[in-house]
């Protein structure tokens, strides 16, 4: 599996306020800014980091989900096969619009329930997913 970079998504109460903080922390401007969503593509260390405007309560607090961005749909499917061979349940989201991008992805949860995605991004899109889909894909499946 060709891993491009790890992915970490956190919930923030105000993406604009948080955007300024993370621009200073990472030393780079965001790669994508949309209503309620900011994405940083940090080169060193390699990191796909997103801010999702949402409540920070619940079990996960500020943490939204983690993931691994890969190069191709074949890499996503290989990860699914490896995880299922290990006896883990996966959930597919192929050709989905999520977080202002068209993606193929799978989801799996670790033993404590932490959501992880393995995904490839095919293209950016201007419109977010509908509210139900956005909650499912961008707010930890």
Token representation of residue 3? 């891993």
Instruction: State the residue range of the domain holding 93.
Output: 3-137
Q: Tell the burial category of 47 from Cβ atoms under 10 Å away from its Cβ (0-12, 13-18, 19+).
A: middle
What is the rounded radius of gyration, in angstroms, for the C-alpha atoms of the chain?
A: 15
Average of per-residue pLDDT across 58-72: 83
Task: Answer whether 51's CB lies under 8 Å from 100's CB.
Answer: no
Confidence of residue 99 (pLDDT cuts 50, 70, 90): confident
- Residue 127 sits in a domain whose CATH number is 3.10.180.10
Residue 86 CB: number of other CB atoms within 10 A?
Answer: 8
Say if residue 135's pLDDT is above 70. Answer: no
Task: Answer whether 22's CB lies under 8 Å from 61's CB.
Answer: no
Residues 84-98 have pLDDT tens digits of 988 889 999 999 988
Q: What is the pLDDT of residue 141?
A: 46
Q: How far apart are CA 133 and CA 25, in angstroms?
A: 30
Q: How far apart are CA 114 and CA 31, in angstroms?
A: 26
User: What is the count of structural domains for the chain?
Assistant: 1
Of residues 110 and 33, the one with the higher pLDDT is 33
Average of per-residue pLDDT across 110-132: 79
Predicted TM-score of the model (pTM) = 0.70
Q: What is the pLDDT of residue 103?
A: 94
């Amino acid at each position: 599996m060709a891993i491009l970079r790890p992915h970490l998504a956190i919930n923030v109460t105000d993406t604009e306020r948080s955007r300024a903080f993370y621009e200073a922390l990472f030393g780079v401007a965001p790669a994508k800014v949309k209503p309620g969503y900011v994405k940083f593509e940090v080169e060193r260390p390699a990191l796909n980091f997103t801010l999702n405007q949402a409540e920070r309560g619940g079990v996960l607090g500020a943490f939204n989900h983690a993931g691994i961005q890969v190069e191709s749909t074949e890499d996503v499917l290989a990860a699914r096969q490896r995880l299922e061979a290990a006896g883990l349940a996966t959930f597919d989201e192929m050709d989905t619009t999520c977080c202002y991008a068209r993606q193929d992805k799978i989801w799996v949860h670790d033993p404590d329930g932490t959501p992880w995605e393995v995904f490839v991004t095919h293209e950016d899109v201007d419109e977010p997913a509908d509210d139900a889909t956005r909650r499912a894909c961008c707010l930890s499946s």
